[in-house]
Chain A
């Protein structure tokens, strides 16, 4: 018996609905927690522009690194450091020579209290605070850079007894934003006011590209010359080498659309 006209048209509609999903693929990316806000926005744009879907898993770079080496199904890895992606290429989990710098991290000495941190960071030398928060330097890239800054300023040994260490930069931000630590080193992306993103360069560092204003509390955007370059590197993992969505995401991260978002959140752009 031939299917009725109703059924044939139903099948046609179903095929039409199915069509876009067959060439729109989905990829899963592991993303350093400091890049949460920009990446969420980039993924939304990515879906609009390419039709592919990017699912994001946020966490510490070190954790994602260990998970990838244990067979996690991530296809693209956006690390907060250079170390892990290069290591993954060496150990055969990432596609050789697929690594690239997607953003330059910027650090802020921030307090939830307005007027607490001065524009030159003098408070590090003179301040009378009980706790200073930073990400744990033993594994978190933001912590390593924070230590370098304090070393450059000659206050590391003096401040070390006041350290409270977050497991990652998001937790460090929670320590400061809840007021439990008077101040701390957080990522610029966490405290930037994106609606005011076109402010002028900070007075103490006119050589910097214009960066956004800090949204709440008070902060000192740390000049780049106080620490080693904070390059954040991404890599295409072998699990995603055949997935058009993974390849497209890697390309999209280098697109002007993505770069504009990255800059809006206070990251530096790769040279």
Chain B
């Protein structure tokens, strides 16, 4: 069965994934909105940068984050200057790494659903004298609800499943940066296969349930289109 140490890694993992998902929605929504609407020449560049973590091997991304956030790296020098110290081996460091790593899983579904809305609902709202903020929250958010749901669940589950980045940036510290994927890996390396199976089983069951909810809820109850 699961030991207290295993339970601690599960709790920490959900805490990291929860906070990271909220931050990704916070930063990802304006970014996705801009990407969906802009005709700027920078669009392609920003799109490519956001999608980079999909292509880069996680340990490579983790290694460069370790270098950049370390005492001699640009980000590390900046955070030290702010008086925050350096980010590797800390909980905030883990959050920063997770946000960068999982961002495409939040931005891309949002961008797609924003693009799908088109100009007409926005122009209709404008003729009714809705302010841009009002339009966004009363028209765009309800229309893009499936996009937000997909983005949140993918962002959350992808963060739960991350391994290579946290292994590099986290330093495997109990209760601070040792997440469930690292704990399973440790069990396997220590040849504690039974413990590894239990923890992996819990993780598998969780991931499957979440994805099942995602696909069944979205398929069987499509969000009503308010303008139709």
Residues on A facing B (Cβ under 8 Å) = 60, 62-63, 65-66, 130-131, 133, 136, 138-140, 163-167, 171, 174-175, 178-181
- A133-B171, A138-B190, A164-B171 known; A178-B72 Cβ under 8 A: yes
Point out the residues of chain A lying under 8 angstroms from B190, CB to CB: 62, 138-139
Which of A133, A138, A175 makes the CB contact (< 8 A) with B186?
A138
Report the separation of the CA atoms of residues A133 and B171 in the bound assembly, to the nearest whole angstrom.
8
Q: Is the CB of A62 within 8 A of B88?
A: no
CB < 8 Å neighbour of A178 from B67, B173, B191: B67
Query: B168–A171 contact, CB under 8 A?
Result: yes
**CA–CA, A166 and B86, complex, Å:** 18
- B66 at the binding interface (Cβ < 8 Å): yes
Q: Are A179 and B171 in contact (CB under 8 A)?
A: no
Closest B residue by C-beta to A179 = B71
Q: Is B70 an interface residue (CB 8 A)?
A: yes
Are B186 and A136 closer than 8 Å at their CB atoms? yes
> Are the CB atoms of A167 and B185 closer together than 8 Å?
yes
A139–B189 contact, CB under 8 A? yes
Task: A2 to B171: give the CA distance in the assembly, Å.
Answer: 71
A130 to B84, CA, bound (A): 13
Asked if B135 lies at the interface with its beta carbon under 8 angstroms from chain A, I say no
B45 CB → nearest A CB, Å: 28
- Quick one: CB contact mask for B45-88 with A, threshold 8 Å, 1 for yes? 00000000000000000010011011111000000000001101
The reply to whether A165 and B172 form a contact with Cβ atoms under 8 Å apart is: yes
Name B's interface SS: loop
Q: How far is the CA of A66 from the CA of B193 in the complex (A)?
A: 10
Name the one of A66, A133, A163, A179 contacting B70, with C-beta atoms under 8 angstroms. Answer: A179
**A136–B178 alpha-carbon span in the complex (Å):** 12
Q: What are 15 A-B interface contacts by the 8 Å CB criterion?
A: A62-B190, A66-B189, A66-B191, A130-B85, A133-B171, A136-B189, A138-B189, A139-B186, A139-B190, A167-B185, A174-B168, A175-B88, A180-B66, A180-B88, A180-B89
Contact B171 A167 (CB under 8 A): no
Shortest beta-carbon distance, B36 to chain A, in Å? 38
| Contact across chains for B89 and A164 when beta carbons are under 8 A apart | yes
Contacting pair B171 A131 (CB below 8 A): yes
**When the two chains form the complex, which single residue of A66, A130, A136, A164 contacts B188, counting CB atoms closer than 8 Å?**
A66
Given contacts A60-B189, A138-B190, contact A174 B171 (CB under 8 A): no
Q: Are A62 and B189 in contact (CB under 8 A)?
A: yes
Return the contact of B171 from the options A60, A63, A140, A175 (Cβ within 8 A): A175
Chain B 196-227, CB-CB to A under 8 Å as 1, else 0, gives 00000000000000000000000000000000
> Which 8 A-B residue pairings sit nearest by Cβ, starting from the closest?
A164-B171, A139-B189, A165-B172, A62-B189, A139-B190, A179-B71, A178-B70, A180-B88
Is B72 within 8 A of A179, CB to CB? yes
A180/B86 contact (C-beta < 8 A), A138-B189, A167-B185 known: yes
Identity of the chain B residue whose Cβ is nearest the Cβ of A163 in the assembled complex: B173
A174 touches B66 (CB 8 A): yes
Residues in A whose Cβ lies below 8 Å from that of B12? none
Whether B94 sits at the interface, judged by CB under 8 Å, is no
B residues in contact with A163, CB < 8 Å: 173
Q: Check B144 for interface membership: any CB of A closer than 8 A.
A: no
- B167 close to A62 (CB less than 8 A): no
Say how far A130's CB is from chain B's closest CB, in angstroms: 8
Which A residue's beta carbon lies closest to that of B164? Answer: A167
A91 to chain B minimum Cβ distance, whole angstroms, is: 12
Measured CB to CB, the nearest residue on chain B to A87 is B191
Question: Contact check: which of B66, B88, B173, B191 meets A165 at CB < 8 Å?
Answer: B173
Known: A138-B186, A139-B189, A139-B190. A167 touches B172 (CB 8 A): yes
